[in-house]
Amino acid sequence: MNINFNLSNPQYHMITTDVKYPLFLGGYGSGKSFIMILSAIIDAISIKNVNVYCYSPTFDQIRLNLYPRFQEQLDLLSIKYKTNKSEFSFTLQNKSIIFLRSLQIPERIIGYESYKSHIDELDVLDKNKAEDCFNRVVARTRQSVNNIRPGKVSIYSTPEGFSFLYDRWEKNKPSDDYKIIRSRTIDNPYMDQDYVNSLKATFTPNQLKAYLEGKFVNMQSGTVYDYFDRYKHHSDRLIKPDDVLHIGIDFNIGGCCGAVFVIDNNTPIMVKEFVSNDTFDIGMYIYKHFIENNHQVYVYPDASSKSRSTNAKQTDIQILRDHGIKRIIVGNQNPHITDRVNSVNTLLYNNRFLINTYNCPETTEALEQQSYNKNTGKPEKYNDHPSIDDRTDSVGYFIYSKFPVIRKKLYQSRKIKGV
């Protein structure tokens, strides 16, 4: 087999290393997903009748991103294959199969064997879950063929602070089986400087060290929202009669938190906070105070509200609709906590998030006080409701939905010849 392609030096090292657990640690647009796809395809076409597994954090990322990109790359390589959409798998002409699997439910990583495995964006999971998933994938990667050493598991990720990848590959590296191959965004031969400039205009300096250079940095210094300043980010803005209102909601039994925003010149301004006992109460509050006053209202609840409720008989979303709230913006799952926090902090850093601190005193204090949990590395959660994290979550659901800082992908098809 002879394949000619244009790779960066880090990508070439990743695809040729014989280390058992290589980690391709790269910034945004450094070609992590591309080299994972190419590596998996090479694994599958190099030997007959093997199973190669590729893992992604969520089902949506597989369905919307990974699956179509595998199809595109296989077509570019002129490799014949059959798809099984229900299993997200590709059976190649040599009878080897590439399976795409989610890390959402680690307990489902059972009952099969893999010749080689590849894991995308492992560091977006919290530390304990990431470790659990990695260990389970290692246990599955044991299909031995033609006396070839089994068990190679390759990781491709952007660093997210001092979490599992930092602990396993750098701080407490257990053996030489673990190796970091670091790739900067500018190492990508297809990189557009405008893309780099857009990242520089979007992220904080500390974030850029991770997202441009692929470095482990402290993403958790001080409080969670350490760019927030109640004086710098204060606004006297009040609700006006013709305002369109955007309401982030965090549902909890005994304390549902609402954060009411207006948007002026593409700047979100929080103008009111409120707390309700349950979903019926919050529906009544929104209808009475805003819809009856002829405001156009958009609601941004957490995604779990689609399937559960503070009331046993109906989902939270159904209850809101029954109270005349028709514009409900909710995804299939909540964003990663890191993405939600980054979205808020990026607006704060660029002075594009304002709050009426007089009308929203509890949320103001929550933004000032929320800290990180030393054990999980995630924003602290509290059992009593309403709590600090309930208020910041209600803010974050709206901000991420309307002003997301997402894991930007730069993807240009590589024409690969000579298969």
In a domain, 232, yes or no: no
How confident is the model over 356-400, as pLDDT tens digits? 999 999 999 999 888 887 777 788 888 777 889 999 999 999 999
Identify the pLDDT of residue 305.
56
The mean per-residue pLDDT over the stretch 394-412 comes to 76
pLDDT of 136 higher than 80: yes
Identify the pLDDT of residue 4.
61
Q: How many domains does the chain have?
A: 2
Q: Within this chain, do residues 111 and 25 fall inside the same structural domain, yes or no? A: yes
The mean per-residue pLDDT over the stretch 63-76 comes to 93
- For residue 198, the 8-state DSSP code is H
Residue 335 vs residues 58, 124, 310, 404, 406: alpha-carbon distances, Å: 10, 10, 21, 10, 9
In a domain, 163, yes or no: yes
In a domain, 395, yes or no: yes
Res. 194 pLDDT band, cuts 50 70 90: confident
CATH of the domain at 195: 3.40.50.300
Identify the pLDDT of residue 213.
86
**Spatial separation of the C-alpha atoms in residues 180 and 23, rounded to whole Å:** 5
CB contact set of 79 (below 8 Å; sequence gap of 6+): 41, 45, 92, 93, 419
Q: Within this chain, do residues 175 and 310 fall inside the same structural domain, yes or no? A: no
The count of other CB atoms within 10 Å of the CB of residue 337 is 18
Map tokens 């080897």 to a residue: 96
Identify the pLDDT of residue 417.
36
Q: How many alpha carbons fall within 13 Å on the CB side of residue 343?
A: 24
For all residues of the chain together, what is the average pLDDT? 87
The count of other CB atoms within 10 Å of the CB of residue 395 is 28
Residue 122 CB burial class (10 angstroms; 0-12, 13-18, ≥19): buried
In a domain, 381, yes or no: yes
CATH of the domain at 256: 3.30.420.280
**Spatial separation of the C-alpha atoms in residues 296 and 300, rounded to whole Å:** 14
pLDDT of 258 higher than 70: yes
User: Residue 107: helix, strand or coil by DSSP?
Assistant: helix
User: Residue 326: helix, strand or coil by DSSP?
Assistant: coil
Per-residue tokens: 203: 């992220």
**Spatial separation of the C-alpha atoms in residues 134 and 224, rounded to whole Å:** 27
Between 129-133, 136-140, 286-290, 339-343, the lowest mean confidence (pLDDT) is in: 339-343
Identify the pLDDT of residue 410.
44
User: Residue 250: helix, strand or coil by DSSP?
Assistant: strand
Identify the pLDDT of residue 180.
95
Q: Which domain holds residue 278?
A: 244-402
Q: Within this chain, do residues 282 and 381 fall inside the same structural domain, yes or no? A: yes
Res. 220 pLDDT band, cuts 50 70 90: low
In a domain, 97, yes or no: yes
**Spatial separation of the C-alpha atoms in residues 21 and 364, rounded to whole Å:** 44
pLDDT of 222 higher than 70: no
**Spatial separation of the C-alpha atoms in residues 173 and 58, rounded to whole Å:** 27
Measured in residues, the chain has a length of 419
Identify the pLDDT of residue 419.
33
How confident is the model over 325-349, as pLDDT tens digits? 889 998 767 778 888 998 999 999 8
Res. 138 pLDDT band, cuts 50 70 90: very high
The secondary element (H helix, E strand) that includes residue 4 is none
CB contact set of 48 (below 8 Å; sequence gap of 6+): 94, 95, 96
Greater confidence, 251 or 102?
Answer: 102
pLDDT of 411 higher than 50: no
In a domain, 291, yes or no: yes
Identify the pLDDT of residue 113.
94
